[in-house]
Each structure stands twice: as structure tokens, then as C-alpha cells.
Structure 1
Amino acid sequence: MISHTGLSQAEFARRLGVSAGFTSDAARGLKKPGAEFLHAVRTVFRVSIDWLLTGDGTMRGGSGIDLDLLRTIRLQIAVARAAVIDADPIAKVLLLLIRDGRLNEAVADPDLQAFLSRIAPTDPDADLATELYNGHLWTEDSSAQLRNLLAAAVAHFEARKPLDKMAALARSAGPTIQINVIPSQRIAGRDYYEG
């Protein structure tokens, strides 16, 4: 927790009104902070006590999105759409297997695997949005949060844009290199010391 504040242990302790020794011992797990200490952390630093005690949720108390659950829901929606709207026979069988808790019987079925590959919703932008949302819940300043989210999105796409190989090679070559092929050319510095 102390590292998230950017403060030294002594300054952290001072703001909470406790001794630096107690704070050090608590950080090392030698002492267990009580309700008053946790309340002070909650009040002074606006940090979720649930997050402090269990690591659940977010530092500021917001609830993150369970990305695996969201992907499962999106897949179930795609299966339901295929079964109900498209009347796909494989989707109908799959729905029955899921409902009856017998999905493990069909895991190796190649038709089922092909069906899932065909209908599985893929939206990398939605996944990125969820990951960014989860990763930026800790920021309580909404304008800073929006700036951080935009910077993270730009960095994500900058890291994935196609590499201009010639530009990269030219950049890696550094400053212009002079190559002399005529013996009568003199290079300042070297010729001075040789001469």
C-alpha cells in the first residue's frame, strides 16, 4: 500500500498519526494493523479496506470486470443466437449439453470445435477496453484517469503498428558515418595526431 502512495514509510506513518516503527513492522508482516489503523488508511488515502485485507476489487473500492466471465458471456450469447435465430443444429446440441452439465462429453468433437471457432466472438477492442478499465480504476481524479486511459490506448496501438523496416534500420544506424576511399583525403583529428 505504501508504494502506491509514493510516500516514504515515515511520511506515510506521519499522515496516519502512527509511529514509523509500527508502520515498518506492519509492512513486513510483524504486526497486524487494527481497525483504527485501517480506518485511518481508508480516511486519509481513500483506499478500500476490502482491497487492503483481501486484494479483492480495486484500490479505490470500484469493482473491476472479470474478463474471463465477460468472454464466457459473449460466447454463450453467440451460441444462443446460433441455436435460436440461425437454428444451427450443432448450437442446439451444444445448448443441451451445457444445460445438462455434459459438455465434457463433447470436448474432443471436431464439429463442435469448428463450430466454436466459427461463431466465437472476437473483438480485440472490447477486450482492450475491459483491460484498460480494470487497470485504471485506482485513479480517483477523473481527468487524470481519462488522460491515462488515452495514453495507454495509444501506446497499445503504437506497439502493434507495422514496423517500417527501412526507417528502423536508418534510425539504428545512428549519426551519418563518413567512409573515405581516396588516400589523399585527410580526416581532422586523426591526421593531426599522425602527422
Structure 2
Amino acid sequence: MRDIPPDGTAVSATQEACAEQWRGLPARINQVLSHAGLSQTDLAKQLGLSTGFMSEVARGVKRPGPDFFMGVRHSLGVSIDWLMTGEGTMTGGAGIRQDLFLAIRLQIAVAKSAINDGDPVAKALMILIREGQLSAAAADKDFSALLERIALPDADLDLAVELYNGHLWTADPVAQRRNLLAAAVAHFEARRPINKLAAVTGASSNDHGHVQVNVGKGQRVAGRDYLEHRAPRSKK
């Protein structure tokens, strides 16, 4: 239910958007702390704030002023726009817009179907797109059926966009790739099929999916557990 101001008028869409951005501030602050490897106490010291105030800001109890945002920008190189609104990326880059990325994927699918397959519905949709008559396309069931058929959802591409935007802030390319891999692994680990019998009985699987990788003179065994075995040095 919308909040009604004293004058009885409904809250505007702009006011609601601003309120939503403020609600997202604590999550963005904690994301900054996690990426920077800092605690709330550490950041409070850098900004000259009390730990109590920092805690209240991080929990969304209090709203910080301009000095807070300028301080985070100066200390950690974080974009003020991103910190305040969540738009763009942590370091101020534009990032990838999810809606535009989806539109591009659909445009490619329509063009491919029209040109390569000669699909008459795809050709008709291309004409409407070129003429800016998308309202007519939205009301046509044939167009909806076409898009469902030729552009099935690709969760992996959506994941790629999320990872790109989430890890664009990392300056070190080695750390960036390591973090990207860790995030991708965590994504799929969290969605692995559950062995219901093992979950109920408490039994553990003996298959840990170890893979041995030879790197120079060393051997690395990677899987759920990480082991590293060094080859013995040769005696002279």
C-alpha cells in the first residue's frame, strides 16, 4: 500500500524510486566492505566516523550525508552514483544493462530466423521493429510464439552479465579471473542436484571429483578439497 502524505496526494514514482535506492544502500555498503577487505570499524576510522554511526548506516537505520559519500569515494575509489543509487558499477563504469542485453539477443534471433530460415513471422516482426510499431507486435500472439521458439532463455548468458557487472571493479586481472571463477563455481554448486537420500541419512559421497593437474614439477589435485603435492627435489 502506498504511503499517503499529509496533503492526501499519492507518493510519486520518483519518490518511490528514491526510497528504493536508499533501502539498497546497506547492501551496497556491505558489498564495498567485502570487496575492500575492510570491517565497519576499519571504514569508520578511515572516514573519521564513530563505529556506532557506521553500524547504523550499514543497517539502514540512518542515512549518511554528502561527507560520507565523498569520503568513501576518496578512500576506496567507489562511484558516488553507484553507492547512492546502485546504477552503473562500483567504480563508475557503465556496466552491461540487462534489459539492453536481452533486447540484443532477441534482435539477433529475429534477424537470424528471418534471413537464414526465411520465417514469414520473423520478417513481419522485423518490419514492425524498423517502423517503430512495437505496440502492434506486443499484442500479436504469433510474435510471442515466435520469440518463445527462437530465443529460449539462456541462464548462462544472464549469469555472464551478472558476473561482468559484479567483478568489473577488480583492477588486478589475475585476481579478477580468480574471483570470477569462484563466483561461477559457487553459482553452480548452489544449484547442484541434491542427493536426497544422503541428505536424510547423513551419508557422505566418496566421489569428490578430484582432478589432477600437472604444473611444472608440481602436481595439484583440485576438487572439493584442495591438495598440493610437490615433487621431491632431485639429488645432485
Q: Which TM-score band (shorter chain)?
A: 0.5 to 0.7
The equivalent of 2:98 in structure 1 is 67
2:122 equivalent to 1:91: yes
- Partner letter of residue 91 of structure 2? R
Structure 1, unaligned stretches of length 5 or more? Answer: 173-195
The answer to whether the 8 A contact 1:132-1:149 is kept is: yes
Higher strand proportion (structure 1 or 2): 2
Change (3 A) 1:54 1:106: closer
How far residue 30 of structure 1 moved from its aligned partner, in angstroms, is 6.5
Higher helix proportion (structure 1 or 2): 1
How far residue 93 of structure 1 moved from its aligned partner, in angstroms, is 0.8
How far residue 151 of structure 1 moved from its aligned partner, in angstroms, is 1.9
* Mapped partners of 1:2, 1:60: distance in 2: 13
How far residue 169 of structure 1 moved from its aligned partner, in angstroms, is 2.4
The equivalent of 2:196 in structure 1 is 165
* Mapped partners of 1:46, 1:135: distance in 2: 16
The equivalent of 1:32 in structure 2 is 66
- TM-score scaled to structure 1, two decimals? 0.67
The equivalent of 1:15 in structure 2 is 46
The answer to whether the 8 A contact 1:74-1:121 is kept is: no
Change (3 A) 1:166 1:53: closer
Change (3 A) 1:56 1:112: closer
How far residue 94 of structure 1 moved from its aligned partner, in angstroms, is 0.6
* Mapped partners of 1:49, 1:125: distance in 2: 30
Q: What is the count of residue pairs matched by the alignment?
A: 166
Which fold has the larger relative contact order, with Cα–Cα distance below 8 Å and residues 6 or more apart in sequence? 1
The answer to whether the 8 A contact 1:14-1:20 is kept is: yes
Q: 2:77 aligns with which of 46, 50, 53?
A: 46
* Mapped partners of 1:55, 1:160: distance in 2: 27
How far residue 45 of structure 1 moved from its aligned partner, in angstroms, is 1.3
- Partner letter of residue 157 of structure 1? F
The answer to whether the 8 A contact 1:75-1:121 is kept is: no
- TM-score scaled to structure 2, two decimals? 0.57
Change (3 A) 1:144 1:105: same
Identity %: 53
